[in-house]
Amino acid sequence: MSEENLAEILAELKDMSETMVDLAYSALLFGSEEIADHVIEMEEIMDKLHTDFELAVLKLKETRPARGLLGLIRLSIAAEDIADAATMMAHIVKGGVRAHPVVWMAFERAEETIVTTEVAENSPLADKSLGELGLEDDIGMRVIAVRRAGRWTYNPQDPFVIERGDILIARGYVEGRERLLDLANPAREED
């Protein structure tokens, strides 16, 4: 594995750990078990990435100074620790932390929300880039993560093209929620 790949995996460890924390908090604040499930699923990917990364770092021990490699190992342990903490948070959400009125009331005033949805066959979102769609300007929802064929893309940028079957996680104001769900799946039934 080249050092460039190493930088890529590191970027992924970083982005993934940050996204997991973000999603875990959102799952708590907006009461979404579905989002909590995504976090738990990401933890498995994170474990594998972390192991791949550390093995790749160790392979460089003959050619690179030990100190800088130690720094990389410590960094990946911390990233893994952050992901673990996010997963604990997701389990707390799944454990029904919000069930009791005392807690539930504390979350009542939410103006923002988070939503997860699959892009259906006949969705007008399919084959369009996020830049073209301008969801953030039009309906106030920002796509923060996309799952495609078992892989996650975090914080997708304007050139990112949405495909059928993608699972989107988006955050925004409550009003935008239903509109995004309708766009992703025009045939859906009101829940």
Partner 1 sequence: MSEEEIKYRPISVRELLTEMQTVIQLILDLAYSAVLFHDHDLAEEVTELEERMDTLRVLLLMNTAIAIRDADDAEAMVGIMQMASVADRISDAAGDIARIVLLEIGIDPYIVEAFKKVKERLVRTRILPGSVLAKKTLGELELESNIGVNVMVVRRGKELVINPGGKTALQEGDILIARGSDVGASELDKLAKGELKTIPRPAVEWENDLT
* CB-facing half-sphere around the CA of 95: CA atoms within 13 A: 7
Rg of the chain's alpha carbons, rounded to an integer? 19
The pair of structure tokens assigned to 50 is 């972390």
Q: Contact with partner 1 (CB under 8 A): which of 97, 126, 161, 167?
A: 97
Residue closer to partner 1 by CB (options 50, 162) is 50
The reply on whether position 102 binds partner 1 by CB under 8 A is yes
Q: Does 58 bind partner 1 (CB under 8 A)?
A: no
Work out whether 1 is an interface residue with partner 1 (CB under 8 A): no
Identity of the residue, 106 or 121, whose beta carbon is nearer to partner 1 in the bound complex: 106
Binding residues for partner 1, rule CB under 8 A, total 48
Out of 33, 51, 58, 96, which residue is the one contacting partner 1 (CB under 8 A)? Answer: 96
Residues numbered 104 to 163 that lie near partner 1 (CB under 8 A) are 106-109
Q: Does 88 bind partner 1 (CB under 8 A)?
A: yes
Query: Which is nearer to partner 1, 86 or 183 (by Cβ)?
Result: 86
- Cβ-based nearer residue to partner 1, 47 or 121: 47
Give CA–CA dist 22/168, Å, rounded: 15
Taking CB atoms within 8 Å and a gap of at least 24, the contacts of 127-132 are 127/161, 127/162, 127/163, 128/161, 128/162, 129/158, 129/159, 129/160, 129/161, 129/162, 130/156, 130/157, 130/158, 130/159, 130/160, 130/161, 130/162, 131/157, 131/158, 131/159
Displacement of CA 5 from its chain's centroid (Å)? 21
Q: Which amino acid is at 104?
A: W
User: Which positions lie near partner 1, rule CB under 8 A?
Assistant: 3-4, 6-7, 10-11, 14, 17-18, 21-22, 25, 28-29, 60, 64-65, 67-72, 74-75, 77-79, 81-82, 84-86, 88-89, 92, 95-100, 102-103, 106-109
